[in-house]
A and B are shown apart, each in its own frame.
Chain A
């Protein structure tokens, strides 16, 4: 089971990201990770949140353009070469990453890499078999 990422299409207008954060906050939804991919005029905000389903509903109800995306969450060692170790596996299996972002993991010496790969199931399988922990969901981090 891959991790659900919430992708929101946003115009590059002042206050628009605030609107989004406010709606989530007012509904007691916590964002674990957020990253913005942008062109000059618009962007896609990618969010990992606890209560992902509720987040999608709340955003839609408030007029945001939302889609859900399956992404892979991998726990990697938080040390030099940590990211490279998992990328090496992907490279060896000809798996191409569309985008990736990282954040600190649940324990001091781990980090979490969120990866968007076309064939999610296959990629998850390969990564897991190579000895990495692949997360099912990321709403339990404390």
Chain B
């Protein structure tokens, strides 16, 4: 079982912690000197980078939230001038302003290295034909995997997302051995292949690298059965870097976090104190080597646990389990982050609907479907079906514009969506994740 960078990936823990401390010091100095926002924040609690003595001291630092990063839109949290930034990516910006992230040449080099590691851990090697069916664009998925797989020396086929029949054709004709996409899209492709009467024996798939949305063990088995590959999970987020933060090895029991580049903490989202080792909590990341867009104690809102026991694969990096939930009400639909607050923001702009709504997420034929039930305003009820359907289409268009993905709108009678005294139940997730 091969390891991309054995020197680091199998490093003894004590040695790793020395490197982490050294890099953490570098990062704190870097942001203190270069990013006003961090300097002000450190100053406000009387913290100087020189105060850091141990890794545990990181707990004295303030957290950074998605809200903070968004406030910096577009470039004010960059730690280098724009002329040193050679690439920009961005979060989907589904809740308002997106988080814009930059990469120096050095950052891109690191990124490719880390993706090469997780791809190698997943079983990809030189000689593989890697079909990347993640979208290419501001989304980090496509480009992130692209350069990491090139780094390995694999043959990259940058198909990007969509055009499923063409995907199958290429998969068959090019003999793709690795499929990179969201797990739900993998299942959708399996279905399209069946419709095209292309069996898994007609394909040459060997490894799947799936990420960017939650999925279950049941789904893993189904993908494997239908596409005839080994399905692996990986984890990353735009704010921290993109894909390559963590990935599964062939043990497929948790994802190794690239700890020489990211310091991970797990906190209780209520008390903000660290949880006991192995307990479930919210993941918090501090980047250790990023130049253009370092983050200090970034609260991911992702809930999971770390696996403290050593892994049979020989890597010493800590593993994280699959993300099992969120501390906020964000849902991920077809790889896109959706917050109920966005739906609300879209609806208040439309005359004729009440801001009472319910979001229903379901998975049909392996694709996520988003439905928004919207209460009609009494005054806008008409006898004309044409106008109602037109109205429904307007609401759909507005939501698509705000959310970045299509949602089916169902108009419902006024006062029929349940009102609750406390937190409204805005989301019903019927997916079996």
Give the distance in Å from the alpha carbon of A67 to the alpha carbon of B388 in the complex. 13
Residues 20-34 of chain A: 1 if any B CB is under 8 Å from the residue's CB, otherwise 0? 000000000000000
* CB <8 Å contact, B381 and A37: no
Complex partner residue of B381 from A9, A41, A63, CB under 8 angstroms:
A9
Residues 363-391 of chain B: 1 if any A CB is under 8 Å from the residue's CB, otherwise 0? 00000000000001010011111101100
Cβ of B394 under 8 Å from chain A? no
* CB <8 Å contact, A67 and B382: yes
Complex partner residue of A39 from B376, B385, B412, B414, CB under 8 angstroms:
B385
Nearest CB of chain A from residue B248's CB, rounded to whole Å: 41
Q: Please judge, given known A-B contacts A9-B376, A39-B389, A44-B388, whether A69 and B383 are in contact too, CB under 8 Å.
A: yes
Give the distance in Å from the alpha carbon of A43 to the alpha carbon of B388 in the complex. 9
Nearest CB of chain B from residue A46's CB, rounded to whole Å: 6
Residues 79-99 of chain A: 1 if any B CB is under 8 Å from the residue's CB, otherwise 0? 000000000000000000011
Cβ of B413 under 8 Å from chain A? yes
* CB <8 Å contact, B410 and A63: no
Give the distance in Å from the alpha carbon of A113 to the alpha carbon of B35 in the complex. 75
* CB <8 Å contact, B413 and A10: yes
Nearest CB of chain A from residue B137's CB, rounded to whole Å: 33
* CB <8 Å contact, A65 and B414: yes
Nearest CB of chain A from residue B110's CB, rounded to whole Å: 50
List which B334-386 residues lie within 8 A (CB) of chain A. 376, 378, 381-386
User: In the complex, which residues of chain B have a beta carbon less than 8 angstroms from the beta carbon of A98?
Assistant: 384, 386
Nearest CB of chain B from residue A129's CB, rounded to whole Å: 26
Complex partner residue of A5 from B381, B383, B410, B411, CB under 8 angstroms:
B383
Cβ of A127 under 8 Å from chain B? no
Cβ of B416 under 8 Å from chain A? yes
Give the distance in Å from the alpha carbon of A88 to the alpha carbon of B389 in the complex. 29
User: In the complex, which residues of chain A have a beta carbon less than 8 angstroms from the beta carbon of B413?
Assistant: 9-11, 63-65
Residue of B nearest to A63 (CB): B415
List which B391-415 residues lie within 8 A (CB) of chain A. 392, 410-415
Give the distance in Å from the alpha carbon of A5 to the alpha carbon of B383 in the complex. 9
List which A41-62 residues lie within 8 A (CB) of chain B. 41-44, 46
User: In the complex, which residues of chain A have a beta carbon less than 8 angstroms from the beta carbon of B376?
Assistant: 9, 65
Question: What total of A-B pairs shows CB separation below 8 Å?
Answer: 51
* CB <8 Å contact, B383 and A67: yes
Give the distance in Å from the alpha carbon of A63 to the alpha carbon of B410 in the complex. 19
* CB <8 Å contact, A37 and B412: no
Give the distance in Å from the alpha carbon of A39 to the alpha carbon of B396 in the complex. 15
User: In the complex, which residues of chain A have a beta carbon less than 8 angstroms from the beta carbon of B384?
Assistant: 44, 98-99, 116
Give the distance in Å from the alpha carbon of A41 to the alpha carbon of B411 in the complex. 8
Complex partner residue of A42 from B383, B410, B414, CB under 8 angstroms:
B410
Nearest CB of chain A from residue B373's CB, rounded to whole Å: 9
Nearest CB of chain B from residue A97's CB, rounded to whole Å: 12
User: In the complex, which residues of chain B have a beta carbon less than 8 angstroms from the beta carbon of A10?
Assistant: 413
* CB <8 Å contact, A42 and B412: yes
User: In the complex, which residues of chain B have a beta carbon less than 8 angstroms from the beta carbon of A116?
Assistant: 383-384
Complex partner residue of B385 from A37, A41, A64, A67, CB under 8 angstroms:
A37
Give the distance in Å from the alpha carbon of A39 to the alpha carbon of B412 in the complex. 12
User: In the complex, which residues of chain B have a beta carbon less than 8 angstroms from the beta carbon of A104?
Assistant: none
Cβ of A66 under 8 Å from chain B? yes
Residue of B nearest to A118 (CB): B384
* CB <8 Å contact, A41 and B410: yes
Residue of A nearest to B384 (CB): A98
Give the distance in Å from the alpha carbon of A39 to the alpha carbon of B416 in the complex. 18
Residue of B nearest to A41 (CB): B410
Residue of A nearest to B377 (CB): A65
Nearest CB of chain B from residue A98's CB, rounded to whole Å: 6
* CB <8 Å contact, B381 and A66: yes
Give the distance in Å from the alpha carbon of A42 to the alpha carbon of B414 in the complex. 13
Q: Please judge, given known A-B contacts A9-B376, A11-B413, A42-B412, whether A65 and B385 are in contact too, CB under 8 Å.
A: no
Complex partner residue of B382 from A7, A11, A43, A63, CB under 8 angstroms:
A7
User: In the complex, which residues of chain B have a beta carbon less than 8 angstroms from the beta carbon of A67?
Assistant: 381-383
User: In the complex, which residues of chain A have a beta carbon less than 8 angstroms from the beta carbon of B415?
Assistant: 63
Give the distance in Å from the alpha carbon of A99 to the alpha carbon of B384 in the complex. 8
Nearest CB of chain A from residue B316's CB, rounded to whole Å: 54
List which B233-275 residues lie within 8 A (CB) of chain A. none
Residue of B nearest to A71 (CB): B383
Give the distance in Å from the alpha carbon of A46 to the alpha carbon of B388 in the complex. 14
Nearest CB of chain B from residue A47's CB, rounded to whole Å: 10
User: In the complex, which residues of chain B have a beta carbon less than 8 angstroms from the beta carbon of A37?
Assistant: 385
Give the distance in Å from the alpha carbon of A7 to the alpha carbon of B411 in the complex. 16
Give the distance in Å from the alpha carbon of A64 to the alpha carbon of B412 in the complex. 11
Residues of B bordering A, CB below 8 Å: 376, 378, 381-386, 388-389, 392, 410-416
Give me 9 other A-B pairs in contact (C-beta within 8 A), A9-B376, A9-B413, A44-B384 excluded: A9-B411, A11-B413, A43-B385, A63-B413, A63-B415, A65-B381, A65-B414, A69-B382, A99-B385
Q: List 13 A-B contacts (CB under 8 A).
A: A9-B411, A9-B413, A37-B385, A41-B410, A42-B410, A43-B385, A44-B384, A44-B388, A64-B413, A65-B378, A65-B381, A67-B381, A67-B382
